Structure formats: C-alpha cells, structure tokens
Amino acid sequence: MKKLFGARVNLLIIVLFLALVAISPKFDSEGVEIGSLDKFSANQGLSVGEVIKEFQGVKIESPEQFKELLGENKVNPNEIHIKTDKNEVTYEVTDDLRFELDNLTIKNSKIIGIEDGELLAEINGVGIVDEEDFEEIKYDLLPDKRIEIKTDKQEYVFLTHSNLEINVKEVSKTNLKKGLDLDGGTRVLLKPVSEEKITNTDINNLIDVMRNRLNTYGLTDLKIRQAESGEDKLVLIEIAGVPKGDVEDFIATQGKFEAKIGDEVVFVGGKESIPRVCKDDGTCSGVRSCAPVSENEAQCRFEFSIKLSKESAQNHAKITNGLDVITTQEGNSILSEQIGFYLDGTLIDELNVAADLKGSETTDILISGPGVGRTEQEALQDALTNMEHLQVALITGSLPFDLEIAKIDSISPIFGETFIKNAFISGLVAVLAVLVVIFIRYRNLKVILPMGITLVSEIFIILGFAAAIGWNLDLAAIAGIIASVGTGVDDQIVITDEILRGAKERFFSWKEKLKRAFYIIFVAYACTVVAMVPLWSAVAGLLRGFAVTTIVGVTIGVFITRPAFSSMLEKLMNK
C-alpha cells in the first residue's frame, strides 16, 4: 500500500479533499433560498441567500408553496370613512392615509372628493377635536399583518402595512454557482452610442451608474462587466430570475431627467441636484388616485416628494423670479409658466407653480405623473412602474451615453434544469464510451482503473476550483470541462503507450519513457493555453467560461492528475 501511494498520488488525494471542501455538498436542503427581496423586508434584517425554513409557522418545502403562502398573507385594505366640514367620503387604504394634517386642516390630499383646506371632523365615526385625537388613532387606521419568518440564521417577527415582495428559489445543494444558461434569467449586451471615442474610463463610469441603478431597482443578483467586440466597447449584464421584457424596459433607457420652466432647465436627476428622493415610503410616495376616464380606459396618478440641493433651489428662485403672477378661473394665484418634467426628452407631466413660490429658494418639490390602462388595476400597475422608473432616474442620474441593445437572450429556469440533466448524462456517456474504447485498445483492466479514476478526478477538481473562486458554470464552462478532459485522455494514452512500450523495451528506463511522454504533454499543454487566450475577449466575452475552464482543466491535468496517473499505472504494470 505504501508503495502504491507515492508523492504524486498523495498530492492528488489532498487536492481532491480540498475540492470537496470547496464544493461543500449540503445534505440538508430544506426550505427555500431568498433570491431577491423588497427594501422593507431587507430593513427587517432579511438578506439574499438566507434559507427560509418556516413562514407563518408553516414548514416550507418548495418555492411554489412559499409563493402561495405569501399570496395568502397579503395585507387587506381597510375602509376609511372621513368627514370634513364640507364633504363626506369612503375609500380604502393600505400603507398610506392619502392626506396630511396641519392644525386639523387637510393638505396634500390624494382622496377623490376631498380638497386641500377642508377641516377634518370625523374618521370612522370618531370625532377629531385636536391633532392629539388624530395621532392616537392614525396608525390603527392602517391595516397591518403580523409576519413570522424562520430562516437558517434566525427568526423574524414584524408588522407590515404593505405586501412583501420576496422571490425565492430552490436551496443550493453545493457552493457551485450556476450561470445564466443553467439558472435562468436574462443576458444583455449593451453598446454605448457616442460621437466621441469611448474609453475604458467611460465604460467604467457607465458600469458604476448602471450598477447603482439596477441595485436601486432591487436587482442584486446580477453581474455586470466590460466586454469588447472588435473595436467596440460594450457592457455585458447578466440578471438572474428577471424576464426579458422587464429588462428591456429599464436597462437600455438613458434615464435623463430634466425639470424645465419654459426652455430653461431648473434641475436634473442625480444626487448633486437632488440629494433625497422619497421611495418606498407611503407617507411621501405612492399612487394617490385612480378613476375610469372612459368605458375602456382608466387613469391613475402617482406622486412623490424630492428635496433639491441649495444650488438647484437657487436656480429655481432665479428662473421663477422673472415670471408673472396670473389668476386661474378658480381664483387661484399661479405663475405664468408651468414646470414640466421630462424623461429622455418625453414630457411626463406639467404642474402649475403657486404664486408664493416666485423667487423662492424652495427645496421641497412634489413630482407627479400618470398611469393608464384598460382597467383601474392595469392603470395602477402602469403608474407604479412609471413612478419607480422616474424615482430611479432621479436617484442615480442619467447614464453618460445613449445605449442600444446589441444582443439580448432570455433563458427559462426550466430549460436550465434540462441543460444540467442533459450535460450530466452526456458527460457520463462520454466517460463510459472513452473507457470502452480504451479497453478495446489495450484489453487490460490495469489501464482502465487508473484512467477512470483520473477522468473523474479531473472533473471533480475543476468543479472544486470553480466553487472556490465563485466562477459561474454555464454551458460554455461545461464545454470547457469536456474539452480539457478530452485532452487529458489524449495525454493518458501517450503516457500509457510509453509505459507499455517501456515494459517491452528494457534498454529504456521507466524514467526516460515518462520524460519523453511528458515532453509531448507539455508541448500540447502550451499550445492549448495559447489557443484559449484569444477566446477570453472573443464574442464580447461570451466564450470566457470555455477559455477559463479549459485552461484550468488542462493545468490541473498536467500538474496533478496526469503525474498521478503515470505513477498509478507504472506501479500497477510492475505487479
């Protein structure tokens, strides 16, 4: 036994053990893994990658079950009956009462039938005498839901006024990361459009803004990097679990926001002009009204507040100071020009500017816009989508270039599972076929045994290396594994021929025969590595996985598995 396990074989065993540690197979795969989640859930402590074991006391066994339970635990809206000195209205609320109160006077009303300036008298039959009465019942008016979640880290218990948005997937059984081809999602290749030459610095700045924008949308499970195709500099984005249609809507748009009075720009999007944008907070952001406008059309209106920088506020004062004050038919005093909101050159909305804002360095601005659809539900969804796009543009600023989609691919997770199954079956069949051919060639089980061990070891070590560095396994990477193992078979045949010939030709020593075999192997290895280098950036980097796994595979083979194979075969043939 001691004679069989020499230094080269011992090295192989050590590397195999390290690969096993890197892959770290998990036998307890109960629950579901969080893929993405809304900001409110994240603020409660939940994070991407946590495994949800129980939800509302129910043991979770599949993503479908969790999705169903999440739907069953939606927050049902409360009915509010409000009475003022002028009107009486009934409406529904979830996370926002749709008005603010200042000394019992309603302001910022988003309730159809209630105007700013009315005096609040009664809510749900409770008389309101002062603001203390209102504060005592305000939070009881909003619906809430008690949420209990148990994960592999801890238990979470909290109240929510809105519906949670938590996307989950099957728990990863190993540390191996699957690429888009296997896990599902969308891959987009974007080409910046500019009359000037685009530099690497420009691309890096573009990537920074895009990553910030995508993270603001809540897309954390993504990869974004620079790519090249000829002289063109591109950006490659891979987003797991997001369909093609959603990606096209918010990736390729430049997101250039401008607020104009007449032809003059008051402020633009970005943190320099707008340090704060209200988002995901029902008290200052949301859809305020929805109503049918015709038999086949409905319209909703969203609003959210922003805070301007000092410089933008000064610019607002300078522009409005030159405007005239006019009186509307309703008797309201406003400025002679409206403020218009433009996104990528398209007018979103226009608002009147109150006369008291003339020359004022106000920092608080209310942004609004519409959402339309065939039904109120469709209009509501359109308004929410438009609001989020606008908020993100204001938060992140515009992209430094116009973008065009050079290529977009969408992979279904169902297809990914099929790819994995087919790749596993194909690999197994290929290994068995190779071993059968080798047996027919040599008709010696002493050759088949170490060759089979070497083939399986190479694949396992490559997977361990991928797990250790966090490399995503996609179809190109799997092809690279097959290619590297294929070159390994060639090398093992060379080694086998030299050893078997050495057994017959005694005037050559084993050492001399192996030297000659490994000279051939190293030359082939160098040629393979050189051939793979151009593929690193070829086809916009889409073949990088193939190049990396092939280089890693042949390197592992030359320096670890093939020396161990020669040692095993040499000792077996001497018996």
Contact 105, 117 (CB under 8 A): yes
pLDDT of residue 507: 43
- In the numeric block, which tokens belong to residue 413? 């997770």
Neighbours of 88 (CB within 10 A): 12
d(CA 460, CA 122): 71
pLDDT of residue 15: 93
Contact 566, 451 (CB under 8 A): no
Q: Give the highest mean pLDDT range of 6-10, 178-182, 244-248, 538-542.
A: 6-10
The share of the chain scoring above pLDDT 70, in percent, equals 88
Neighbours of 78 (CB within 10 A): 17
pLDDT beyond 90 at 150: yes
Structure-token match 């974007």, residue found: 190
pLDDT beyond 50 at 2: no
Chain segment 483-525, per-residue pLDDT in tens: 888 877 878 888 888 777 655 454 445 566 566 667 777 877 8
Amino acid letter at 569?
Answer: L
pLDDT beyond 60 at 4: no
pLDDT beyond 90 at 368: no
pLDDT beyond 70 at 312: yes
| Long-range contacts, stretch 15-21, CB < 8 angstroms, 24+ apart | 15/461, 15/464, 15/556, 15/560, 16/457, 16/460, 16/461, 16/464, 18/464, 19/460, 19/461, 19/463, 19/464, 19/465, 19/467, 20/460, 20/464, 21/464
Q: Give the strands of the sheet with 120-123, arranged side by side.
A: 88-93, 78-84, 120-123, 126-127
Chain segment 388-400, per-residue pLDDT in tens: 878 877 877 766 6
Residues in the chain: 575
Strands 32-37 and 166-170: antiparallel
Rounded average pLDDT over 35-51: 80
**pLDDT mean across residues, the chain:** 81
pLDDT beyond 50 at 459: yes
pLDDT of residue 1: 44
- In the numeric block, which tokens belong to residue 295? 């038999």
pLDDT of residue 460: 92
pLDDT beyond 80 at 280: no
CA distance to 223, 433, 475, per residue, from 237 (Å):
6, 38, 17
CA 228 to chain centre: 22
Q: Give the strands of the sheet with 232-240, arranged side by side.
A: 222-229, 232-240, 185-193, 402-411
Give residue 58's pLDDT band: very low, low, confident or very high (50, 70, 90): very high
Lowest-pLDDT range, 300-309, 394-403, 423-432, 501-510?
A: 501-510
Higher pLDDT, 254 or 234: 234
Higher pLDDT, 503 or 48: 48
Closest of 235, 252, 241, 242 to residue 541, by C-alpha: 235
Higher pLDDT, 214 or 513: 214
Q: Give the highest mean pLDDT range of 236-250, 309-323, 427-441.
A: 309-323
- In the numeric block, which tokens belong to residue 353? 């500017």
Closest of 454, 516, 523 to residue 489, by C-alpha: 454
Contact 254, 344 (CB under 8 A): yes
pLDDT beyond 60 at 431: yes
Rounded average pLDDT over 150-172: 86
- In the numeric block, which tokens belong to residue 506? 């005694």
Rounded average pLDDT over 338-360: 82
Q: With the CA atoms of 440, 441, 447 and 452 taken in that order, what torsion angle do they form, in degrees rounded to the nearest 10?
A: -60
CA distance to 50, 218, 379, 453, per residue, from 158 (Å):
17, 21, 31, 53
Max CA-CA distance within the chain? Answer: 114
pLDDT beyond 90 at 37: no
Give residue 332's pLDDT band: very low, low, confident or very high (50, 70, 90): confident
pLDDT of residue 53: 93
Closest of 181, 180, 149, 182 to residue 164, by C-alpha: 149
CA distance to 95, 171, 475, per residue, from 415 (Å):
39, 18, 12
* Burial tier of 4 (Cβ tally within 10 Å: 0-12, 13-18, 19+): exposed
* Burial tier of 563 (Cβ tally within 10 Å: 0-12, 13-18, 19+): buried
The share of the chain scoring above pLDDT 90, in percent, equals 9
pLDDT of residue 516: 66
CA 455 to chain centre: 36
